[in-house]
Structure 1
Amino acid sequence: MTSAENSPGPVAPPAEADPRFALMDLAMSYLVPAALRAVAVLGVADHLTGGPRPVADLARAVGAHPLNLRRALRLLATHGIFTEDDEGRFALTPAAEPMRTDAPSSFRAAILMLTDATFWRPAGELEEAVRTGTSPFDRLFGMPFFDHFARDPGTAAVFHDGMASMSDPENPLVARALDLPPDAVVVDVGGGHGGLLLAVLREHPGARGVLFDQPHVLEGHRLGELGAEDRWDLVAGDFFAEAPPGDTYLLKRILHDWDDEHALRVLEHCRRAMSPHGRVLVADAVVPPGNDPDPGKVIDLLMMSSFTGRERTRADFDALFTRAGLRLTRVLPTDTRLSVVEGVAAV
């Protein structure tokens, strides 16, 4: 027998070195947010505040199938969300604490929003967006996102509650990063219930605020928490049609919902309405160059699948500002996943 015949042939690489296994794991990773949503909907974390509980007790408390609840929690525990002890009892972890409804910084509403059918179903049809350049949302729901949002109170509630939950940890950090004149009139464009403006007015006691959004949105505003009604006003309107007068225009997670033409209209209205030395401050993800992971690259696909918008690079913002008659002056970090892109009048 020759040496060639004695050769065992090619040796398979270790499983962890074979890219096919990594691809397999990635292809199934959508099951983690699926489990996260199921547990959030059931309110499991609310039933663990007193300490570890056997899964059978937990299942009775939340109205779930014991075995299947354990399987969902077991997967989440591999990501540090909940933990199972040797007796089969599940407990909260620091990562699971924000899933409690009564937690000071509860994130449950944000989880329910981000995994809602309005985001989940279009994401499953992402191929359509990649092929056609249009969102599959319209086909799946019969109308664009914000039309569906306006007609369905349930969707509107999920969205507003979820945005507040997601924004509350960010708003004080964004407000702290802003460099405002002491007597600035700050217009929060599309500011929802006013969480960001509330944080700005607390951080900058000399500023006055204007919360600008649609009438049905303003009904849920939170500015009364400031305790100084002389420092803020509510103005109802459509940011595609107008903007109220002011000095500083805040647009937090507004432009990323829209394509360049719609975003341009919003910026142009701000540019026309602002005082001669006014500024536009856009708080959005600024996508960095290169191949490193970045949250903005993930949210960008959410914008692709359910909206017509996108996350932008600094160059994208520069071009958009220029078209709106603005000049990009700087990009401010905020200690969050957002940056503040500042623009002033170009002429």
Structure 2
Amino acid sequence: MTSPSPADVMMQMIGGFQVSQAVYVAAKLDVPTVLGDGPMTVRDLAGCCGAQEPQLRRLIRTLTSLGLFTMDNETVSLSPLGATLSRTEPESLYGLACMWMETHYGPFSELLHTLRTGEPGADKFYGKPFFDWAAEDAHRTEQFSGAMRAITEVLRKGMFDGYQPPAGDVVADIGAADGSVLIDLLEKDRELRGIAFDLPSVRADTVRSVAAHGYQDRIEVVAGDFFSQVPTAQIYLLSYILHDWDDDSCARILQSVAEAGGPGARLLIVETVVPDNSDPHLSKMIDLTMLGVVTGQERSAADYVALLDCAGITLDRIVATSTAFSIIEATVRDPRNVEISSASTQPTNRMLTK
């Protein structure tokens, strides 16, 4: 079998928008969820999913060629790849697929606008910043929290395995969403207590999630705005937060943390770190999402050193994990120590691997 020509590869890339829509529609119709109970004919599947049989057959034929299903004449079976879109699978990406396609797909039609003006496509498409638009509707807020939960349960699964948090009694999760990352961390250290901090519009979902996991006695749910003030703690967890914001906004968040925690407070920043090479990496695809939707970006180790330094915080080390995400450990400096060594402006070489 000959390798595809450059033109063939480019055709696939150009048609990527059709594939993402097809995957979304299959998930939204609950095709993978229904097939989780066993193979079905296209006719029966159409009846269960509320779809037109001829159109569904064509959709499944295309997605079968991409590995989501298998077909034996008219009988359709679910593949392990397709199962990731089932609502009932433990490592389901259903919520993420729906959130991306229902909130990000439209703004990406304005990517050219972003490149020409510097304004996120979502600002133009929705007429306001993405997070302002999302916070206006309870369903969007819940959908976003669900997508972040999927990322925690699937893409960041096992991230804290073997990890020992810094010494401290209380860890405040800043921008906690449903608190799933904080719960995961507290499972590794039974002595820690937590504060789940996010906007008032998120609080009810966080309270439900914390109670569902049985952590209501160890986690306090607090509502507020991380741009103005955050709770007092010894350790601050910022998981997938800084990448959403531009440098100036990040500085405001970090200054809130530094003021509340004071000198010596520790930060655990969970993000992808862009490698200094041209190899494929999840961070580079996520950065494209940031480019089209918000003002944030994925950052390199050097970027994080500079970003933290401007807020009076020293990057201590970057802990590599078994996932594509890293744990960036940092410490709030004492402002009385005005002299900063030249080493504090360079990326740390202490990279730990699992």
Residues 331 and 340, structure 1, Cα contact 8 Å, conserved in 2: yes
Q: 1:299 aligns with which of 254, 262, 286?
A: 286
Q: Distance in 1 between matches of 2:157 and 2:171?
A: 15
Q: Distance in 2 between matches of 1:103 and 1:65?
A: 26
Per-residue CA shift, 1:281-306, capped at 9, x if unaligned? 11111111222111111111111111
Structure 2: gaps of 5 or more residues: 335-354
**How far off is 1:226 after superposition?**
4.3
The 5 Å alignment of 1:223-302 reads: 223-302=210-289
Q: 1:113 aligns with which of 92, 99, 102?
A: 99
Q: Distance in 2 between matches of 1:31 and 1:243?
A: 43
> Residue 157 and residue 71 in structure 1: after superposition, are their counterparts in 2 closer, same or farther (change >3 A)?
same
| Counterpart secondary structure, 2:323 | coil
Structure 1 residue aligned with 2:180 = 195
Structure 2 residue aligned with 1:9 = none
Structure 1 residue aligned with 2:85 = 99
Per-residue CA shift, 1:13-55, capped at 9, x if unaligned? x984642232222111222211110001101112112321111
How many residue pairs match? The answer is 332
Q: Distance in 2 between matches of 1:181 and 1:327?
A: 15
Residues 246 and 275, structure 1, Cα contact 8 Å, conserved in 2: no
Q: Distance in 2 between matches of 1:74 and 1:207?
A: 51
Residues 45 and 92, structure 1, Cα contact 8 Å, conserved in 2: yes
Cα-Cα RMSD: 1.9
Q: Distance in 2 between matches of 1:332 and 1:304?
A: 26
Residues 172 and 200, structure 1, Cα contact 8 Å, conserved in 2: no
Q: Distance in 2 between matches of 1:267 and 1:40?
A: 38
Q: 1:179 aligns with which of 151, 164, 187?
A: 164
The 5 Å alignment of 1:1-347 reads: 16=3, 18-85=5-72, 87-116=73-102, 118-170=103-155, 173-176=158-161, 178-181=163-166, 183-221=168-206, 222-347=209-334
| Counterpart secondary structure, 1:282 | strand
AA matched with 2:66: H
Q: Distance in 2 between matches of 1:309 and 1:160?
A: 18
Residues 156 and 324, structure 2, Cα contact 8 Å, conserved in 1: no
> Residue 171 and residue 195 in structure 1: after superposition, are their counterparts in 2 closer, same or farther (change >3 A)?
farther
Residues 263 and 333, structure 2, Cα contact 8 Å, conserved in 1: no
Residues 171 and 199, structure 1, Cα contact 8 Å, conserved in 2: no
Moved more, 158-167 or 37-46: 158-167
Larger Rg: 1
Per-residue CA shift, 1:75-113, capped at 9, x if unaligned? 22223212112x231111111223221223322111111
Q: TM-score scaled to structure 2, two decimals?
A: 0.88
> Residue 139 and residue 177 in structure 1: after superposition, are their counterparts in 2 closer, same or farther (change >3 A)?
farther
Structure 1: gaps of 5 or more residues: 1-13
| Counterpart secondary structure, 2:12 | helix
